[in-house]
Copies of this chain bind each other. A is one copy, B any other.
């Protein structure tokens, strides 16, 4: 009776601290090399290689080989969503025992990248506004940006033509780890974040998932959603 449900097979993969660190490092959607991931996890490259092979086997990550560099990335949104769900439970579980919320932690709660879209307080605030003001609409069982919504998004230079041609859902919701409410994911979520960075309203803090808004950028963002 060593079979068990498949959920344990997956959970055990994330359950090792070294692999957890690796997956965490990949949460910003970028692809990292095996060596970088080894450093990230604080282990030697041999050990890292073994872990990466197991993660590949479990289809949690994907590999892209370029020359002698092997780049690894998360296998998809489902995996990112799983990691956020874990953080949410870990956050609830950890309260009361060691809630040492450092300064970087505060920045993470305010605004961060979640796979490829905006999360944290500001991500949730944006989504709230979109829902309350009818930026989104129901179309064929799926959620999409309404004409009114596109009118608003035109302010930051976006139009329906900006959407990539793919079968990826236009709008999705993603449950926020820190705020515990939904924010916007899907291709529109990615589109908006990309544009915020493009406009210089905010920038990524290297080696973290933090999104740092400039003073004027945050001001403009606030006026956009008010």
Contacts and interface: CB of A to CB of B under 8 A. Distances in A.
Interface stretch (A5-13, A112-120, A156-164): A5-13
Interface stretch (A87-95, A145-153, A193-201, A211-219): A87-95
Contact of A128 (B15, B23, B141): B141
B11 A14 contact: yes
B7 A14 contact: yes
Which size bracket describes the interface of A in this complex? 35 or more
A88 B14 CA distance: 15
Contact of A20 (B5, B43, B86, B180): B5
A86 to B, nearest CB: 4
B11 A86 contact: yes
A132 interface: yes
Quick one: which of A19, A43, A59, A81 has the most chain B CB within 10 A?
A59
Given A59-B93, A79-B89, A82-B88, A11 B15 contact: yes
A10 B93 contact: yes
Copy count, this protein chain: 2
Contacts of A81: 85, 88, 175
B138 A6 contact: no
Contact of A173 (B2, B10, B173): B173
Interface of A: 1-21, 23-24, 42-43, 58-60, 75-76, 78-79, 81-83, 85-94, 128, 131-132, 138, 141, 173, 175, 180, 182
10 contacts: A2-B17, A4-B21, A5-B24, A7-B90, A8-B17, A8-B21, A11-B14, A78-B89, A85-B85, A173-B182
Interface pairs A-B: 7 shortest CB-CB:
A4-B17, A12-B15, A8-B20, A6-B90, A15-B15, A11-B14, A1-B42
